[in-house]
Amino acid sequence: MERIIEILRSAKSAAIIPHISADGDAVGSCKAMAEMLRSMGADAAVYLEEPLEQRLSFLDGGMELYNGSDTEHDVCIVLDCGDEGRIGSRMPIVSRAEKVINIDHHRTNTYFGDENYVDADASATGELLVRLFKAMGAELTDKAAEYLYTAICSDTGCFAYSNTSPATMRAAAELMEHAFDHAEIARLLFDCVSINTALMRAELTSRIHSYYGGKLRIVTADEEFAAKYGVEPNDIQGLVDIPRSIEGTEVAVSIKQMEGKIKASLRSNGSADVASAAQELGGGGHTRAAGCTVDAPDLETAESIIVRAFERSLS
C-alpha cells in the first residue's frame, strides 16, 4: 500500500476505470477516488465502458463514456476489476499510463497492475479505499464519504450479505459521520424500480427454471424481452436476485444475451463456490458472487453449460 500512496500523492493526472457493466461498488469507488484526487490538486477522469444502468442514475455525472480517443495520464487506477478482460475497450488508456494501480477485492484477481492492492476478505473495493485514504492521512470530503458508503452498501446488499464483517460495519460507521443521507442511498439502490421493471421481474419470476431438486435456479433474458417492457438492455440488472430469494435455492443464476454476448451472474446462498464455476467458464469473482461470459450460440445452450458446471457440486 505504501507505494500506491506515494504514486497517488505525486500524481498530476489520473485515469480511473471501473470494470465493464459497472455496479454500485465500482462506480462509487471510482467517483470517490476522483473526488479525493481532485481535492489533492490532481486532474482525474473516470472512463466508463457503457452508460450506467437506470438504478445507478443517481451516481451519474462527472464521468466520461470512452470513445476510443487518445488520452494521456501519468497514472491509471483500475478499481473493482478482477482481470484485464473486464477493462474492455479502455485498454489503450491502461497501456499508455506510466503506472497502473489495481485495487480490488475479488479472489480471482490476476494482479495485472504495476502496483496491486487486493484483499478478498474485504466486502467491497469501497472498503479498501476507506483503509487506503486513512493510511494516506487524507481527510475525506463529504461527497467522497457518500460515494464510498454507496460502494459498500451496494456490494453488501445493504449489509445483509455474508461478506459483511465487523470491519465493514466500522468503516460504514465512520463514513456515516459525514453529511449525507444513508437511508436515501439504500432506497435508491434496493427499493426503487420503474413500473416496467417491476412488471418485467414478475414475468421472469414465472419463468424460473429449477435443477437438482431446486438447488440451482436460473432465469434468462434477452434484448427482445427487454424491449417488450420498454426497458433498456443495460437496465436488466440484479435479475439473479429473483431466483436467489426462492426458498431452497443454493445457487442462483441469471443469463442475459445482449449485443451478441451472453453473460451470466452467479450467486451462492450456501457453501457452493460459484467463483470456481465461473473461472472454469473464463470468468471469476467471489466464492458467493461471480460472473462470466458464456461461449454459446444462444441462451438455451448457455443454460445447459451452466447446469453442467454445477453437476458435481449440486447433483
Residues 218 and 169 in one domain: no
Q: What is the pLDDT at residue 271?
A: 82
Residues 152 and 9 in one domain: yes
End-to-end CA distance of the chain: 43
Q: How far is CA 191 from CA 198, 208, 251, 300, in A?
A: 11, 22, 23, 31
Residues 219 and 273 in one domain: yes
Number of domains in the chain: 2
The CATH number of residue 246's host domain is: 3.10.310.30
How many Cα atoms within 13 Å fall on the side-chain side of residue 25?
A: 26
CA distance 55 to 232: 11
- Domain boundary residue among 140, 172, 190? 190
CA distance 200 to 231: 9
Residues 22 and 51 in one domain: yes
CB 189 within 8 A of CB 24: yes
- Domain boundary residue among 190, 207, 233? 190
Q: What is the pLDDT at residue 235?
A: 66
Each residue's pLDDT tens digit in the chain (315 positions)? 999 999 999 999 999 999 998 999 999 999 999 999 999 999 999 999 999 988 899 999 999 999 988 888 999 999 999 999 999 999 999 999 999 999 999 988 999 999 999 999 999 999 999 999 999 999 999 999 999 999 999 999 999 988 999 999 999 999 999 999 999 999 999 988 889 888 999 999 999 999 999 999 999 998 888 889 888 766 676 789 999 999 999 999 999 998 788 999 999 998 889 999 998 998 888 888 899 999 999 999 999 999 999 998 887
- Domain boundary residue among 130, 164, 190? 190
Residue 171: which domain range? Answer: 2-190
Residues 182 and 229 in one domain: no
Residues 249 and 276 in one domain: yes
For 205, the 3-state DSSP assignment is helix
**Going along the chain, which residue ranges are E strands?**
13-18, 43-48, 64-65, 75-79, 99-104, 115-118, 209-211, 216-222, 251-258, 261-268, 284-285, 289-293
The CATH number of residue 176's host domain is: 3.90.1640.10
Residues 144 and 52 in one domain: yes
Rounded to 5 degrees, what are φ and ψ at 11?
Answer: -65, 135
To which residue does cell 476522483 refer?
Answer: 34
CA distance 243 to 46: 33
To which residue does cell 461461449 refer?
Answer: 295
pLDDT digits (tens, 9 = 90+) for 55-65: 899 999 999 99
Residues 261 and 221 in one domain: yes
**Which strand (E) or helix (H) includes residue 267?**
strand 261-268
Residues 157 and 277 in one domain: no
Residues 231 and 181 in one domain: no
**Which strand (E) or helix (H) includes residue 101?**
strand 99-104
Residues 30 and 61 in one domain: yes
Which DSSP symbol is given to 82? S
Residues 107 and 235 in one domain: no
Please, what is the angle between helix 125-136 and helix 142-155, to 10°? 150
